[in-house]
Amino acid sequence: MHNRPAIAIAGSLNMDLVVSMERMPKQGETVKGEQFHTVPGGKGANQALACARLGADAALIGAVGDDAFGSMMKQQMSTNNVRTDAIATIQDAPTGIATIMHAANDNSIVIVEGANGICTPAWTERHADIIRQAQVLLVQLEIPLESVRTAMQIARDSGVLTVLNPAPYVELPDDMLQLADYITPNESEFESLTGAVYGTEEELEEGMRQWGKEGPTLIVTRGGNGVSFLKDERLHTIKAPQVEVVDTTGAGDCFNGAFSVAIASGLDLEEAVAFGIKAASLSVTKFGAQAGMPTWEEVDAG
């Protein structure tokens, strides 16, 4: 059984405005939606909630607006045992939102950052102790890059492990990459990172070998095809368990949260990836980015 690791998460909180449909529209096409839901999301909040649901002491550094969505997001975090003392309430920006087109096996997302864009390096610095006291810092890229860098630098200076989920992809300066212990792009983010396209397993293996030489430990998430990393220089892929997919939104966030908790609990790389992928596959069986985040016991039993 695991201990209760402390995970610091610096990242976004969004209200997700989700239209569900049977299939995604093609470019220029109108399709009839089936349902509309407003549910809590945002990569930072999703990852924090995933960690807390798995039993970690999770604290989120972030920002919301002084509006209804902002209080709902904070309420959602505290109800789910995520510490909210480092979530700023900003007067002159709205809470971030994401408009999501959702079909069972697919989604497409547009975000409007709002208050997430005002989660500043100074705010992050002010909550440095949360990072220093954690075993793992988990970050993504929906808050300003400089704030992510500040958080990672604080972690590195105090010997805290860092997991960088480079999503949504933005170009990352080399010195920032060096602050990451683990980096977890999905396949298209990895292609953006390297500026190459990988059509076969062999090409992916070679791409990972080349890119991974000196940087952080590279873990590429591949949706229903599983998660790949290098083991003795060879591509090693842990397959995703087959499940009935309801909503893939937040699956990557669940993987990152679960992986971070597993690493902080002392699991090795392969065990932590396997744990993360089991958790993520459970998360897609429920609707909404956060509703399907599993407990440790559920992952163990899966």
**Binding residues for ligand RIB (CB under 6 A):** 12, 14, 16, 41-43, 46, 98, 109, 111, 142, 249-250, 252-253, 289
C-beta closer to ligand RIB: residue 237 or 283: 283
Q: Are 297 and 258 in contact (CB under 8 A)?
A: no
Cα distance between residue 147 and residue 166, in whole Å: 14
Q: Which residue is nearest to ligand RIB (CB)?
A: 41
- Contacts with 203 (C-beta within 8 Å, 6 or more apart), sequence order: 196
Write down the least CB distance from residue 63 to ligand RIB, Å.
Answer: 14
| Greatest pairwise CA separation for the chain in angstroms | 52
Write down the least CB distance from residue 11 to ligand RIB, Å.
Answer: 9
- Contacts with 187 (C-beta within 8 Å, 6 or more apart), sequence order: 198, 204, 220, 221, 222, 223
H or E element that contains 82: strand 82-83
Q: Please confirm, yes or no, whether 66 is among the known catalytic residues.
A: no
Write down the least CB distance from residue 193 to ligand RIB, Å.
Answer: 18
Phi, psi of 133 (to 5 degrees): -85, 0
Q: 176: which 2 tokens?
A: 């920032």
Cα distance between residue 226 and residue 218, in whole Å: 14
Cα distance between residue 234 and residue 216, in whole Å: 16
C-beta closer to ligand RIB: residue 16 or 189: 16
C-beta closer to ligand RIB: residue 205 or 247: 247
Q: 103: which 2 tokens?
A: 């079909």
List the beta bridge partners of residue 69.
none
C-beta closer to ligand RIB: residue 100 or 160: 100
Q: Spot the catalytic one: 92, 253, 268, 300.
A: 253
C-beta closer to ligand RIB: residue 41 or 166: 41
Write down the least CB distance from residue 205 to ligand RIB, Å.
Answer: 27
Strands in 96-103's sheet, in edge-to-edge order, are 35-41, 14-20, 96-103, 106-112
Write down the least CB distance from residue 300 to ligand RIB, Å.
Answer: 24
Read off the amino acid at residue 117: G
Catalytic residues: 253
